[in-house]
Chain A
């Protein structure tokens, strides 16, 4: 009776469930997305740009647009787009064509166009705990970074690192570089810079010249999937001694330090929106929309970054680049088969290129200059009015070229399309950022550093009054000595050029001071334990032995 009652109840439940599911299925046809003119669109690609893309998606959902973005890496984003698995893609590098060595083809038969959506810098984030404190003012030249990531420099106390950090040696700790395990645009940009600037270091390591999307992991290097995976590995509790590359937004959100990279002018700078904007004024964008033979130029709007790497402005951050969206341009595209989908993508991009740019800086990116925004809007037209072979009706591209001022993009300079206001007002680096000066103290934030997570940007350097850090045997605290006195621990001469009063750089030699030798402890302890065990067990053992000797009678 109980069982039958239960099975009857279960079958009743099952019936209810079936009814619910059927009604859901029916209602899904009736209740579409929030707005009748929008349809759901899917994209995939770069984890480098994912932080800001995710924020844009959250912002447009209020308007009824439903967008999905899968951050599976630039390589997969390009592949997904080419295979018509997604409606749009995001990639940090364009389609590479056929590789001459491996004959692998990275191209798309599906007609597409590129448009830049955001700029940013590839940051090097690291985890170094010295005497309980996280080091946050590490400076490295490009060559040192190249040697670290090719396993030529293997310990943090290497003399080259020490020299670049004002003579303050880090403790002896093996370096663990963290690289990307998947096909990554960040890897591509990083290796492109390496290949360009340090070919003698990079090419023998890689075994071939040119960039690669799959970093060749060798030796102690740890591979992690996605920029978020790299960040997780670096900031994990066991990540002491790691250094990895990711877009600046990741260490910013994780409140982790970023390496000051040396630029050609001899200054160590961070990838703030200003420094990236300054660097990218030297980027050469292909502005030729049509080839001489009348065919559309598929390299339109792609970037050449050679001059960015060697720009000798003191504020320029060398490893800066743009990230691109890939959109379908054919009017008979298999996936963009409704005006609603095209409208959704067009409106999403319009938001991203206009209002969305104002969020780029606080989130760790850099907004696009006006000429690129206008060119990008031109590409968005390919979704509707400019689609080939025939324009698609019903798609309204909101071209705000009339009132671009409403976009609140900090790069816009009235009357000058190609100028970048951010680059013009970019603050100069602090004197302590110069290569010949001592590294900046903990409390000295370089100008223009965002506070992370979309908070307000500070354009002035913060004040430099702090309590002195607890010294562990390095440069003396308190008032700087009038004459340069040798540092008692490391022997280096500390210059008094730093303006920080009472701030000690957090580089220290960790010396373990112990009052007793652990070997003695163990011996004594073992003897004591043996005695204790004997006291407890011997009586019982003796009784047992006696009983056994008496034999049998229990």
Chain B
């Protein structure tokens, strides 16, 4: 006969169950863990945030001493105490734009090639090659640009001026049709600096674009092909719109890096504090190269001025990177990796 358990004698020995207070707060060992790692996080916040605050704080004495003329003065003459970042900001943007104009199509083409056109066996090798390009130090690219690219790029600049000199961007203050062309006018220019920087920037943009393209939904790609599209038609209608966020994001990430590049510019570009749109002509200067070149000679207030220039650069780079992140996250592709 089955008996139902009505009363468990052993249960009397145990105290009656009471509702337990649930708490999210850690206790004991967990509390130690949480507190110590919170301390680590806070210290990193202090260090990194402190740097940003320190830079921002330096702008106060700078602006007090130089006033807003700091942003409009072109020259950087520490001996006469006339310093300003108008010319270097323009130079920075010029070099970065040249780098982006060169690297954007190349990065896009490489990313498309790796994801769509390359044989599957080759894909891993090509991805490794692109990542290797990103890992090569910038001093090596600087050497390559200075010793190998500069003579050829100067010749190319001369060619551009000879044939397309009517375009204001390609104008150079030298006679392109002279019997002995004045080659020194075509070297050490923002153009050559931009070409070298583009090599550094391109693998970064390419990696982001490639990752985004590889996440394109396979079903949509196959659907386009099944409907009779050619491969390029499929890319144009499926892959590129899907990866639009990644393309823009990768480009802006590269732009951020191009703005802050120091060594290649220091090696290649001859410093000249003028605002000019003639990128093929010798002479330019970027904020990073200005800091690297002038930090030793800067007295107290001029050191603050250099830090303020760096702060301006940092803000621009930060803005570009944040926009890139926003664009990537809000796009279809980015939403999956957020």
Determine if B10 is an interface residue (Cβ-Cβ < 8 Å).
no
Q: How many whole Å from A143's CB to the nearest CB in chain B?
A: 25
| Contact, CB under 8 Å: A182 / B270 | no
Q: Are B183 and A76 in contact (CB under 8 A)?
A: no
* Residue of A with least CB distance to B174: A174
Interface string of B289-300 (1 = CB under 8 A from A): 000010011010
Q: Does B180 contact A (CB under 8 A)?
A: yes
Tell me, in angstroms, the Cα distance from A233 to B178 when the chains sit together: 21
Q: Check: A289 CB closer than 8 A to any chain B CB.
A: no
Which of these, B151, B182, B282, contacts A240 with CB under 8 Å? B182
B270–A238 contact, CB under 8 A?
A: no
Asked if A213 contacts B180 (CB within 8 A), the reply is no
A171 at interface by CB-CB < 8 Å: yes
- Checking A102, A105, A238 against B184 with a beta-carbon cut-off of 8 angstroms, the contacting residue is A238
B187 sits at the interface (CB 8 A): yes
CA distance A224 to B173 in the complex (A): 19
Known: A238-B186, A512-B179. A182 touches B151 (CB 8 A): no
For B179, the chain A residues whose CB sits under 8 A away are 171, 510, 512
Asked whether, in the complex, the Cβ of A75 is within 8 Å of the Cβ of B271, the reply is: no
Which candidate, A59-67, A196-204, A214-222, A471-479, is the interface stretch facing chain B?
Answer: A214-222
Q: How far is the CB of B263 from the nearest CB of chain A, in Å?
A: 14
A contacts with B: majority SS: loop
B271 touches A223 (CB 8 A): yes
A73 within 8 A of B: yes
In the assembled complex, A242 has its CB within 8 A of some CB on chain B:
yes
Q: Across the two chains, which residue of chain A brings its CB closest to B302?
A: A104
Question: B81 at the A/B interface (Cβ < 8 Å)?
Answer: yes
Q: A224 vs B271: C-alpha distance in the bound complex, in angstroms?
A: 8
Q: Is A416 in the interface zone, CB < 8 Å from B?
A: no
Query: B173: which A residues are within 8 A, CB to CB?
Result: 220
Nearest to A78 among chain B residues (CB) is: B297
Q: CB of B154 within 8 A of chain A?
A: yes
Is the beta-carbon distance between A80 and B184 smaller than 8 angstroms?
A: no
Q: A183 is contacted by which of B174, B270, B282, B297 (Cβ under 8 Å)? A: B297
**Contact residue among B154, B182, B293, B296 (Cβ-Cβ distance under 8 Å from A173):** B182
- Contact yes or no, A223 B270, CB < 8 A: yes
- Interface presence of A99 (CB below 8 A): yes
Interface residues of A in 170-198 (CB under 8 A from B): 171-174, 176, 181-183
Residues A222 and B184 in contact in the complex (CB < 8 Å), given A75-B297, A182-B297, A237-B151? yes
Interface residues of B in 271-292 (CB under 8 A from A): 271-272, 282-283
With a cutoff of 8 Å between Cβ atoms, the chain B residues found around residue A504 in the complex are none
**Chain A residues closer than 8 Å to B252, beta-carbon distance:** none
Q: Which residues of B have CB within 8 Å of A80?
A: 296
By a CB distance below 8 angstroms, the chain A residues around B180 are: 129, 171, 173, 240, 510
Tell me, rounded to whole Å, the shortest Cβ–Cβ distance linking B143 to chain A.
14
Q: Which of A103, A173, A216, A222 has the most CB of B within 10 A?
A: A222
Query: Hey, what's the 0/1 contact readout for B262-274 against A, CB within 8 Å counting as 1?
Result: 0000000011100
**Interface-central residue, A72, A223, A238, A241, by most chain B CB under 10 Å:** A238
Q: How far is the CB of B301 from chain A (nearest CB, A)?
A: 10
Asked whether A104 lies within 8 Å of B79 as measured between CB atoms, the reply is yes
Contacts of A224 in B (CB 8 A): 270
**Is A225 part of the contact surface with B, judged by Cβ < 8 Å?**
yes
Q: Does A282 contact B (CB under 8 A)?
A: no
Q: Which residues of A contact B230 (CB under 8 A)?
A: none
A80 to B299 CA separation, bound complex (whole angstroms): 11
Return chain B residues, CB-CB under 8 Å to A72. 296
Q: Is the CB of B297 within 8 A of A223?
A: no
Q: Contact check, A237 vs B183: say whether CB atoms are below 8 A apart.
A: yes
Instruction: Give the bracket for the number of chain B residues in contact with chain A.
Output: 20 to 34
CB neighbours of A213 from chain B (8 A): 79
Q: How far is the CA of A101 from the CA of B80 in the complex (A)?
A: 8
Interface residue? A239 (CB, 8 A): yes
Given contacts A174-B174, A238-B151, contact A102 B79 (CB under 8 A): yes
Per-residue 0/1 for B166-189: is the Cβ within 8 Å of any A Cβ (1 yes, 0 no)?
000000011000111011111110
Closest to A183 in B: B297
The proximity string for A residues 226-245 relative to B, scoring 1 for CB distances below 8 Å and 0 otherwise, is: 00000001001111111000
A212 CB–B CB distance under 8 Å = yes
A79 interface residue per 8 A CB criterion? yes
Which residues of chain B in 133-177 are interfacial with respect to chain A, using CB atoms and an 8 Å cutoff?
A: 151, 154, 173-174
Q: Which A residues between 91 and 105 are near B, CB-CB below 8 angstroms?
A: 99, 101-105
Interface centre among B173, B179, B184, B270 (most CB of A within 10 A): B184
Contact (Cβ within 8 A) A182 B293: yes
Q: Please tell me if B41 contacts chain A, counting CB pairs below 8 Å.
A: no
Q: Does B77 contact A (CB under 8 A)?
A: yes
**Please, which residues of chain B bring their CB within 8 A of the CB of A510?**
179-180
B154 and A238 within 8 A (CB): yes
For B182, give its contact among A216, A237, A241 (CB under 8 Å): A241
Asked if B49 CB lies within 8 Å of chain A CBs, one says: no
- Shortest distance between the CB of B13 and any CB in chain A (Å): 49
Q: With CB as the reference atom, state the residue of chain A lying closest to B75.
A: A216
Q: How far is the CA of A238 from the CA of B189 in the complex (A)?
A: 13
| CB-based nearest A residue for B298 | A79
Distance in angstroms from A380 CB to nearest chain B CB is 27
Known: A99-B79, A171-B180, A212-B79. A181 touches B293 (CB 8 A): yes
Across the interface, do B283 and A76 meet the contact criterion of CB distance under 8 Å? no
B217 at the interface (CB under 8 A from A): no
B78 at the A interface (CB under 8 A): yes
Residues of A within 8 A of B78 (CB): 104, 183, 214
- A95 and B222 alpha carbons, distance in the complex (Å): 76
For B185, the chain A residues whose CB sits under 8 A away are: 176
Indicate which residue in B77, B187, B297, B299 contacts A238 across the interface (CB closer than 8 Å). Answer: B187
Asked if B296 contacts A102 (CB within 8 A), the reply is: no
Q: How far is the CA of A224 from the CA of B151 in the complex (A)?
A: 18
Q: For the complex, what is the distance from the CA of A184 to the CA of B174, rounded to whole Å?
A: 29
**What distance in Å separates the Cβ of B186 from its nearest Cβ neighbour in chain A?**
7
Closest to B181 in A: A240
Say how far B272's CB is from chain A's closest CB, in angstroms.
Answer: 7
**What are the residues of chain A within 8 A of B188 when measuring CB–CB?**
222
Q: How far is the CB of B24 from chain A (nearest CB, A)?
A: 35
Quick one: which of A73-91 are within 8 Å of B by CB?
73, 75-76, 79-80
Tell me the complex Cα distance, A99–B283, Å: 29
- Assuming the contacts A174-B182, A224-B270, A242-B184, asked whether A76 and B296 have C-beta atoms less than 8 A apart, the reply is yes
Q: Which of A500-521 contact B (CB under 8 A)?
A: 510, 512
- Tell me the minimal C-beta distance from B49 to chain A in angstroms: 28
* Residue of B with least CB distance to A234: B184
Separation of A171 and B296 alpha carbons in the complex (Å): 41
Q: What distance in Å separates the Cβ of B142 from its nearest Cβ neighbour in chain A?
A: 15
* Cα distance A103–B301 in the bound complex, in angstroms: 13
- Residues 102 to 141 of chain A near chain B (Cβ within 8 Å): 102-105, 129
- CB <8 Å contact, A222 and B283: yes
Q: How far is the CB of B67 from chain A (nearest CB, A)?
A: 16
Report the separation of the CA atoms of residues A182 and B270 in the bound assembly, to the nearest whole angstrom. Answer: 12
A79 touches B296 (CB 8 A): yes
Query: Can you identify 8 A-B contacts, CB atoms within 8 angstroms?
Result: A73-B297, A76-B296, A104-B80, A183-B78, A183-B297, A233-B270, A236-B184, A238-B186
Binding site for B on A (CB under 8 A): 72-73, 75-76, 79-80, 99, 101-105, 129, 171-174, 176, 181-183, 212-214, 216-217, 220, 222-225, 233, 236-242, 510, 512
Question: Could you list 14 further interchain pairs (A-B, Cβ under 8 angstroms) beyond the known A102-B79, A216-B77?
Answer: A79-B297, A102-B81, A105-B299, A173-B180, A176-B182, A176-B184, A181-B293, A222-B184, A222-B188, A223-B270, A233-B184, A236-B184, A240-B184, A510-B180
3 closest pairs, A vs B, by CB?
A238-B183, A76-B296, A238-B187
